[in-house]
């Protein structure tokens, strides 16, 4: 999903807005994925400590950013999350296979499935509560489709069917 995430970032960010992206760091500095991820976290920490506005990309499949979200909230940052949602997971698997055919990096099937469900669960049950605003975007097609919008505990469902599908994935995500 990296291509989709970067495409949306490029389409909504201001030209000079700082965007921290581990994939870009990996490519520019010829680092491993782990090294690039660590470097991205250091860059996020530095931006927070210097009170710089920034954007970053994450799958939200882990809880490593939780302390950073708490820090951002405590420092009064305006947090907006654009959550790109794809279903079923098989569609994501097909997109990753296509990316690999085009020379992209391979990810093990089990890792994709595990991260997919963790990402949905973590966004819905944890990260959205730190956001001033969040939007769930269905990313199944070429055009993004708004599914729901919220902020804190507020929720506005835009597409009942798509939101039902999202909630079904959340329900199936193991804790």
Q: For residue 109, tell me if it sits in a domain.
A: yes
- In 19-153, beta strands by DSSP E: 19-20, 55-56, 80-85, 133-138, 145-151
**Is it the case that residue 59 has pLDDT exceeding 50?**
yes
Is residue 152 one of the residues assigned to a domain?
yes
- Residue 145, domain extent: 79-175
* pLDDT, tens digit (0-9, with 9 covering 90-100), for 119-174: 999 999 999 999 999 999 988 887 789 999 999 678 999 999 999 999 999 999 87
d(CA 91, CA 170): 17
Q: What spatial distance separates the first Cα and last Cα of the chain, rounded to whole Å?
A: 23
**171 in a domain, yes or no?**
yes
- Triad 118, 116, 124: Cα angle to 5°: 50
My answer on whether 50 and 116 are in the same domain is no
Domain count for the chain = 2
Question: pTM, whole model, 2 decimals?
Answer: 0.84
47 is a domain residue: yes
């Amino acid at each position: 999903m990296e291509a989709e995430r970067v495409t949306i970032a490029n389409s909504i960010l201001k030209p000079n807005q700082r965007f921290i992206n581990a994939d870009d760091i990996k490519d520019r500095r010829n680092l491993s994925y782990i090294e690039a991820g660590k470097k991205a976290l250091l860059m996020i920490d530095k931006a927070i400590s210097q009170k710089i506005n920034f954007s970053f990309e994450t799958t939200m499949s882990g809880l490593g950013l939780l302390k950073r979200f708490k820090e951002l909230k405590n420092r009064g940052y305006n947090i907006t999350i654009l959550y790109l949602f794809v279903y079923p997971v098989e569609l994501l698997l097909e997109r990753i296979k296509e990316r690999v055919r085009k020379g992209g990096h391979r990810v093990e099937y089990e890792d994709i499935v595990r991260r997919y469900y963790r990402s949905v669960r973590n966004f819905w049950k944890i990260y959205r509560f730190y956001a001033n605003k969040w939007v769930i975007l269905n990313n199944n097609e070429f055009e993004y489709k708004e599914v729901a919008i919220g902020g804190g505990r507020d929720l506005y469902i835009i597409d009942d069917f798509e939101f039902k599908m999202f909630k079904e994935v959340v329900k199936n995500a193991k804790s």
